[in-house]
């Protein structure tokens, strides 16, 4: 005999693979270790960019190439060694590999180059990881 639950499932559409960002990666929904949401990430980026602008203005007249170079060096060195840049630290987020270890300089460099291209950072998956994070095998999580 056919029951309602047997035919009702196809009416509801395909099953949703996850209920929150990071579910498929084993991250918790909220609190420490959960995926950093877009708002925190954008504010952290603006903080880092603003600091690099101030440094460039003080020492090099604020030229765009100098700002970009300072930003790249800051991102690679701080993310590769400490796991967070100044903006990340202020907003309580950290960059890590998917296994929870520090990203290292090579992954941070790859991520930074792709971040400077802007477009990869705008394309996100269901875990709110941009192409730059996917390529580097990293994720931004809350502290």
pLDDT digits (tens, 9 = 90+) for 109-131: 999 999 999 888 888 888 889 99
Residue 6 included in any domain: no
pLDDT of residue 23: 86
Q: How many CA atoms lie within 13 A of 67 on its CB side?
A: 14
Could you read off the pLDDT of 1-57 as tens digits, one per residue? 666 555 555 556 655 655 788 888 888 989 999 999 999 999 999 999 999 999 999
Q: What domain count does the chain have?
A: 1
Element (H, E) at 96: strand 93-97
Q: What is the C-alpha separation between 46 and 104, in angstroms, rounded?
A: 23
- Can you give the pTM of this predicted structure? 0.82
Where do we find the tokens 């990869």?
120
Residue 7 included in any domain: no
98: containing domain:
27-142
Flag whether pLDDT at 74 surpasses 70. Answer: yes
pLDDT of residue 4: 58
Angle (nearest 5°) at CA 121 between 40 and 62: 80
Residue 16 included in any domain: no
Q: What is the C-alpha separation between 125 and 143, in angstroms, rounded?
A: 22
Could you read off the pLDDT of 79-119 as tens digits, one per residue? 999 999 999 999 999 999 999 999 999 999 999 999 999 88
Pick the closest to residue 74 from 58, 54, 92 (CA basis): 54
pLDDT of residue 2: 60
Q: What is the C-alpha separation between 68 and 62, in angstroms, rounded?
A: 10
Residue 20 included in any domain: no
The token pair that represents 134 in the structure block: 């996917």
Residue 8 included in any domain: no
Residue 50 included in any domain: yes
Residue 67 included in any domain: yes
Residue 48 included in any domain: yes
Q: What is the C-alpha separation between 97 and 137, in angstroms, rounded?
A: 6
Q: How many Cβ atoms sit within 10 Å of the Cβ of residue 120? A: 18
């Amino acid at each position: 005999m056919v029951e309602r639950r047997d035919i009702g499932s196809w009416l509801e559409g395909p099953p949703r693979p996850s209920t929150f960002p990071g579910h498929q990666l084993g991250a918790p929904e909220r609190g420490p270790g959960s995926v950093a949401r877009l708002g925190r990430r954008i504010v952290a980026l603006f903080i880092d960019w603003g600091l690099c602008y101030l440094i460039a203005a003080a020492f090099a007249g604020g030229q765009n190439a100098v700002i970009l170079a300072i930003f790249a060096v800051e991102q690679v060195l701080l993310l590769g060694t400490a796991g967070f840049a100044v903006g990340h630290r202020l907003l309580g987020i950290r960059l890590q590999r998917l296994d929870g270890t520090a990203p290292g300089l090579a992954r941070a460099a790859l991520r930074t180059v792709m971040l400077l291209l802007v477009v990869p950072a705008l394309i996100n998956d269901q875990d709110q990881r941009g192409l730059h994070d996917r390529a580097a095998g990293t994720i931004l999580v809350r502290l």
